[in-house]
Amino acid sequence: MENFIAYNPTKLHFGKNVVRRLGKAVSEYGDKVLLIYGQGSIKRNGIYDTVMQQLVGIGAEVTEFSGIRPNPVIEDVDAAARLGRDKGVDVIVAVGGGSVCDSAKVISVTIPVTHSGWDFYAGTAKPRKAVPLITVLTLAATGSEMNSFAVVQNNRTRQKLGWGHELLHPRQSFLDPQYTFTVPRDYTAYGIADLIAHCLEAFFGEGDAPLSDKFVYAIIHEAVENGKPLLENPRDYELRARIMYAATEALNTMTFNGRRSGDWGVHDIGHVLSLLYDIPHGASLSLVYPAWFKFYKNKIPARIAELGRHVFGVDGPEQTIDAFESFFKSIECPVRLSELGIGKDKKEEIIEVMALNEVSGEHHRIPPEAYPELVELFL
């Protein structure tokens, strides 16, 4: 086991109608609220009204910033930060999925400064303080609600990068599985692919961390057990709850404890595909992971087989890869780019932008000269 620091101060409120406690939570930090959300689905499903009722109930002065895109961009982050700065907000309430939470995190550390939030990604600035952030989650996928990471896209530089900092932890997060009842079938499945990918990025990191491995098996097993039943019963509270909680645990860093690093190569490739073709994040992962497994099959057969044995009860690396591919197909997630109508003619473009984003992974490296071989496996 490698040395590690385990630190996760986010207070998570999980369950039916927990948003009833939102107003009280917000009032711990002040009454000038920056409310951030996406493209308006929360107005259609009633979540906006519930949240506003809580904020009105504490007499909050609410400034809204909406329109955060599924693959969030830095322009929105900077615009929201300017607004929050101008209004002198005390607290941010973010209502949405991973893109809204991630954007809100970067907004929370950009409000106190005068430069672009992208400077944190470029490494030319470090955050010193954050406006307290509370999230209300509406999509089970990224785990952003209980970690200190945020992914943002910069269309100008053609980069989509992840960044982590202790200050990015939400202070509190509210997770009501009922809020995910109306998530469409495809995004429900992509969320499951995302949470499984997070577990895999930990599992294939560097360093022996046997208990963290066992947590990985537990969480992937939970996802596999409930994934297909949930697609068939999208308004089943227990199934929604089990997937939502699994997604949180999949990336609250517990699965990384005792490792020197994770291995984010697949995520990095996924980001490139999202950047180029606006592919939903989870879908980009279900299609790259099987290819990555095949690429690494002969290099780390024992590790891949160990995973399959514990999650699917199968024996051998081939069988493990088949099991993951079959599972992704069973929940209607793509495992080839062609399924999304993107042809083999894009190969060079993908390789070019992978190089621009310096895709490599951390432990099991993907050298640039191997890009063509790996890309070919998911075209």
Q: Which residues are at the interface with a second copy (CB under 8 A)?
A: 1-16, 18, 146, 208, 210-211, 214-215, 217-219, 221-222, 225, 238, 241-242, 245-246, 249, 254, 257-258
DSSP state of 66: -
Of 32 and 221, the one with the shorter C-beta distance to a second copy is: 221
Of 137 and 246, the one with the shorter C-beta distance to a second copy is: 246
What separation in angstroms does the CA of 102 have from each of 69, 107, 133, 192, 340?
11, 9, 11, 18, 26
Of 4 and 277, the one with the shorter C-beta distance to a second copy is: 4
Q: Return the structure tokens found at 288.
A: 């790259």
Bridge partners, 152 (sequence order): 161
| Residue 271 and residue 151 in contact, taking contact as beta carbons nearer than 8 Å | yes
Residue 326 contacts by C-beta under 8 Å, 6 or more apart in sequence?
none
Q: Return the structure tokens found at 50.
A: 């519930």
Of 113 and 218, the one with the shorter C-beta distance to a second copy is: 218
Least separation in angstroms between residue 150's CB and a second copy is: 20
Q: Is the dihedral of CA 153, 198, 256, 369 positive or negative?
A: negative
Least separation in angstroms between residue 307's CB and a second copy is: 14
Least separation in angstroms between residue 328's CB and a second copy is: 21
Least separation in angstroms between residue 291's CB and a second copy is: 28
DSSP secondary structure letters along 303-322? HHHHHHHHHH---SHHHHHH
Bridge partners, 161 (sequence order): 152
Least separation in angstroms between residue 211's CB and a second copy is: 5
Distance CA 230, CA 106 (A): 32
Of 198 and 242, the one with the shorter C-beta distance to a second copy is: 242
Of 215 and 289, the one with the shorter C-beta distance to a second copy is: 215
Least separation in angstroms between residue 217's CB and a second copy is: 7
